[in-house]
Amino acid sequence: MKGTQHPTGRSSRGPGRVLGLLLALVTMIGVTSAAALAAPAHPGALPTRLSLAASPMDTVAAMQPSWNMGNTLDAIPDETSWGNPVATKALFDTIKSQGFRSVRIPVTWTDHQSSTAPYTIDATWMNRVKQVVDWALADGLYVVLNVHHDSWQWIATMPTDHDGVLARFKATWTQIAATFKDSPRSLLLESNNEPQFNNTTDAQGIQYNDELNTAFHSVVRQSGGNNATRLLVLPTLHTNSGQAFLDALAANMKSFNDSNLVVTVHYYGYYPFSVNVAGGTQFDATSQKDMTDHFARIRATFTSKGVPVYLGEYGLLAYPDSNHPSRIERGEALKFFEQLGYEARTARVTTALWDPGTFAYLNRTTLRWTDPALFAAIRSSWTARSGTASSDRIFLAKSSAITARTLTLNPNGRTFQGLWQGSTRLVQGQDYTVSGNQLTLTAAALARLAGNRAYGTNATFEARYSGGLPWNIYVTTYDRPVLSDASGSTSGLTIPTQYRGDQLATMEATYADGSNAGPVNWSPYQEFNASFSPDYSGNGLVLTSDFLNALRDNTQATLVFHFWSGATVTYRVTKNAGSVTGTVV
Whether residue 575 contacts residue 551, with contact meaning beta carbons closer than 8 Å, is answered with yes
Whether residue 503 contacts residue 541, with contact meaning beta carbons closer than 8 Å, is answered with no
**Cα angle at 360 between 358 and 363, to 5 degrees?**
30
Question: Computed from CA positions of residues 375, 377, 381, 384, in that sequence, does the dihedral angle turn out positive or negative?
Answer: positive
* Distance between start and end Cα atoms, the chain: 37
Q: CB atoms < 10 A from the CB of 363, how many?
A: 16
Catalytic residue among 79, 190, 211, 313: 313
Question: For 430, what's the count of Cα atoms within 13 Å in the CB-facing half-sphere?
Answer: 4
Q: Which amino acid is at 238?
A: H
| CA–CA distance, 527 with 531 (Å, rounded to integer) | 6
Sheet holding 438-441, edge to edge: 388-389, 405-410, 438-441, 432-435
Q: Which of 543, 539, 546, 551 is nearest to 576 (CA)?
A: 551
Our answer to whether residue 194 is catalytic in this structure is yes
Helix (H, G, I), strand (E, B) or coil at 292: helix
| CA–CA distance, 308 with 304 (Å, rounded to integer) | 9
Q: CB atoms < 10 A from the CB of 583, how many?
A: 14
Catalytic residue among 79, 190, 194, 508: 194
Q: Which of 395, 328, 438 is nearest to 566 (CA)?
A: 395
Residue 365: exposure state from Cβ atoms within 10 A (0-12, 13-18, ≥19): exposed
| CA–CA distance, 505 with 565 (Å, rounded to integer) | 9
| CA–CA distance, 555 with 510 (Å, rounded to integer) | 10
Question: Computed from CA positions of residues 79, 80, 86, 91, in that sequence, does the dihedral angle turn out positive or negative?
Answer: negative
Q: CB atoms < 10 A from the CB of 16, how many?
A: 19
Our answer to whether residue 508 is catalytic in this structure is no
**CA distances from residue 57 to 52, 67, 262, 519 in whole angstroms, order as listed:** 12, 19, 8, 45
| CA–CA distance, 310 with 233 (Å, rounded to integer) | 8
| CA–CA distance, 505 with 563 (Å, rounded to integer) | 5
| CA–CA distance, 77 with 87 (Å, rounded to integer) | 15
- Catalytic positions are 194, 313
